[in-house]
Amino acid sequence: MLKQIEGSHAVAEAVALCRPEVICAYPISPQTHIVEALGEMVKTGHLSRCEFINVESEFAAMSVAIGASAAGARAYTATASQGLLYMAEAVFNASGLGLPIVMTVANRAIGAPINIWNDHTDAMSQRDCGWIQLFAETNQEALDLHIQAFRLGEELSLPVMVCMDGFILTHAFERVDMPAQEQVDEYLPPFEPRQVLDPAEPVSIGAMVGPEAFMEVRYLAHAKQMRALELIPGWAEEFRSAFGRDTGGLMHTYRCEDAETVVVALGSVLGTVKDTVDGMRERGAQIGVLGITCFRPWPAAAVRAALARARRVIVIEKSLAVGLGGIVSTNVRTSFSGSPDAVHTVIAGLGGRAITRSSLARVFGKALEGRLEPLTFLDLDAALVERALAREREQRRSGPIAENILRDLGVVAARVG
Amino acid sequence: MFQVRIHGRGGQGVVTAAEMLSIAAFREGRHAQAFPSFGSERTGAPVVAFCRIDDREIRLREPVMEPDALIIQDPTLLNQVDVFGGLAKDGYILINTTRTFDALGVGEFVRGFRAEHLCTVPATELALKHVGRPVPNAALLGGFAAVSGRISLASVAAAIRETFSGKIADGNVAAATEAFEHVMKEIREAAHAQAN
């Protein structure tokens, strides 16, 4: 059924269609609308046979999800930003224990400086935590990915993080096609756990493992993720035939057939990238787009194949590995047959900075002319940076950087973007 | 693609206006995308929301930098925010005010614009009259339907009823309807003045 609704509500409805049995939540922007809507559904009885648990922190949210999942319940939670960091220890435990929890991360920057806006730093900080990480390009894909996530996670006995851009998707009203309950029931069978805390057949979960077997347990976690790479394309195909939509999977290519230059990105920025690429195609540029849906496990072989004909790769990424550069581009370099120097990193949209067509067109144009630096910060205000550096050169007690920069910048409320 | 930018202050239902506009367009079979400017909104602080309407899927996620239409919910923003940024000469402007463009001090700026694209509507007064609260967003959407012709008043009314219920919905639909008629009259007068 077609609906014009907020992204958060679309995700809440999709999660409800998956018949979760335990939802635990602690509010943090920009994911709050999702769990608020689910809480309302549980309270009104629209979502039955589900316990909604208000917890005192994100650490507790993940801990409750772990307990619920270990007891055989289909468990869901959502978080963002510092909330994800606060639960980090339990996040590692969930995957280490092999519990198929599904969690939405409404991507948001990490402080300091405190910032409530969108980028991918939160999800990227947990990229090696052992969860499957999927990134949604649109609200339609976000809701579809949640349905796929429960199936994928429960089949592999692994937790799945569905990442959607905070505000840009969570707070956007757009058209979504909401599946019927019967369709979801047919696609997603009831949860059959591989391990369960059952008083009738008592086991313990969470043994201490010493040097004699720790490596083997970790190897098996890796092997499971590699198995996910084999299974995901087939399941996306199955989803396509059941729901009629080509969402999910490992990745999506756009106008890549003859592309000498390929732009790689994750999440909602792909829409703006595609519009920019269409404009450049009209002027004869051989440029295409590779959207990564599945970031963990990293689809190395599929990326390598998609980039096989590319002479140049531009990675647009909403996170910064301070002291290195790009995180996504570092992954891309391992899967590119050409020279690593041909992979350019463009850090963009940090802390909610708008990523515009004109800025992207400028940076893509530079790449086509062979003038793009290895590492670029899109729309960096160089004058502002220079003032801060000058201050530090001139005085020992130069003061706090964030406060100084805001003072230099003056009033920002008059801005539109 | 038709792009609308709505300027107002926290508490005036700016974000809800963009959302309702997207619902109205959706009900007419169009693709629509509404989103706020994501500030830390506080009551009274400047707020911006956007709505794009198109016949095909909308992929673009940048803020609306070059609007086809502006809805200004609070005329005191004219001196505070660059509300007209990126607006083309054939764009539409709808301001919530009882004053004229000249009296608001923007007469010089809009010289060269098409007179029938420039409208004012006393949306706060209409909201107080019909809803009992000074929230001008729904009335302005009625006015927007009239000035832009991009959306029907019936779709605006349906979007209001999808967002609100009971007396609040009735009052907002009445405010939108009166605003629609007010602006239609203004456009007729502008056309008449031009014919003379």
Residues 139-178 of B with CB under 8 A from A: none
Q: Which of A2, A4, A362, A379 has the most B C-beta neighbours within 10 Å, making it the best mutation to test the interface with B?
A: A4
Last residue of a domain, one of A198, A216, A243: A243
3-state secondary structure of A383: helix
Q: Give the domain range for residue A329.
A: 251-377
Residue B59 to residue A272, Cβ atoms within 8 A = yes
Q: Judge whether A7 and A174 are in contact, CB under 8 Å.
A: yes
Residue A417 predicted with pLDDT over 60: no
3-state secondary structure of A283: coil
Residue A191 inside a domain? The answer is yes
Q: How confident is the model at residue B37 (pLDDT cuts 50, 70, 90)?
A: confident
Residue B85 to residue A274, Cβ atoms within 8 A = no
Last residue of a domain, one of A216, A243, A270: A243
Condensed to tens digits (0 to 9), the pLDDT of residues A45-98 reads: 999 999 999 999 999 999 999 999 999 999 999 999 999 999 999 999 999 999
Q: Could you tell me whether strands A51-54 and A251-254 are parallel, antiparallel, or unpaired per DSSP bridges?
A: unpaired
CA distance B14 to B33: 15
Indicate whether A160 and A25 sit together in one domain. Answer: yes
CB atoms within 10 A of CB A361: 17
Indicate whether A229 and A95 sit together in one domain. Answer: yes
- So what's the pLDDT on residue A415? 61
- A80, A77, A84, A28: which is closest to A50 by C-alpha? A77
CA distance A15 to A145: 10
Last residue of a domain, one of A243, A264, A291: A243
Indicate whether A178 and A256 sit together in one domain. Answer: no
Average pLDDT over chain A, rounded to whole? Answer: 96
As a whole-number percent, the residues of chain A with pLDDT over 90 amount to: 98
Indicate whether A179 and A79 sit together in one domain. Answer: yes
Residue A116 to residue B40, Cβ atoms within 8 A = yes
- So what's the pLDDT on residue A43? 97
Condensed to tens digits (0 to 9), the pLDDT of residues A256-270 reads: 999 999 999 999 999
Q: Tell me the mean pLDDT in the region A385-406.
A: 96
Condensed to tens digits (0 to 9), the pLDDT of residues A110-124 reads: 999 999 999 999 999
Indicate whether A190 and A273 sit together in one domain. Answer: no
Indicate whether A405 and A355 sit together in one domain. Answer: no
Q: Tell me the mean pLDDT in the region A311-326.
A: 97
CA distance A204 to B50: 53
Q: Tell me the mean pLDDT in the region B114-118.
A: 93
Q: Tell me the mean pLDDT in the region B131-158.
A: 97
Spacing of C-alpha A347 from chain mean position:
16
Q: Could you tell me whether strands B31-36 and A312-317 are parallel, antiparallel, or unpaired per DSSP bridges?
A: unpaired
Q: Judge whether A352 and B38 are in contact, CB under 8 Å.
A: yes
As a whole-number percent, the residues of chain B with pLDDT over 70 amount to: 98
- ipTM (interface pTM): 0.95
CATH no. for residue A361?
3.40.50.920
Indicate whether A233 and A257 sit together in one domain. Answer: no
Indicate whether A300 and A206 sit together in one domain. Answer: no
- B6, B1, B38, B8: which is closest to B19 by C-alpha? B6
Q: Tell me the mean pLDDT in the region B145-160.
A: 97
CATH no. for residue A86?
3.40.50.970
Residue A123 inside a domain? The answer is yes
Answer yes or no: pTM beyond 0.80. Answer: yes
Number of domains within chain A? 3
CA distance A352 to A25: 24
Q: How confident is the model at residue A416 (pLDDT cuts 50, 70, 90)?
A: low
Indicate whether A31 and A159 sit together in one domain. Answer: yes
Indicate whether A145 and A196 sit together in one domain. Answer: yes
Q: How confident is the model at residue A130 (pLDDT cuts 50, 70, 90)?
A: very high
Indicate whether A140 and A271 sit together in one domain. Answer: no
- So what's the pLDDT on residue B191? 84
Q: Which of A173, A246, A289 has the most B C-beta neighbours within 10 Å, making it the best mutation to test the interface with B?
A: A173
- So what's the pLDDT on residue B66? 96
CA distance A27 to A101: 18
Residue A44 inside a domain? The answer is yes
Shortest distance between the Cα of B179 and any Cα of chain A, in A, equals 25
Spacing of C-alpha A8 from chain mean position:
15
Chain B positions touching A276 (Cβ under 8 A) are none
- So what's the pLDDT on residue B41? 64
Query: Shortest CB distance from B80 goes to which of A6, A352, A414?
Result: A414
CATH number of B2-195: 3.40.920.10
Indicate whether A75 and A149 sit together in one domain. Answer: yes
- So what's the pLDDT on residue B193? 83
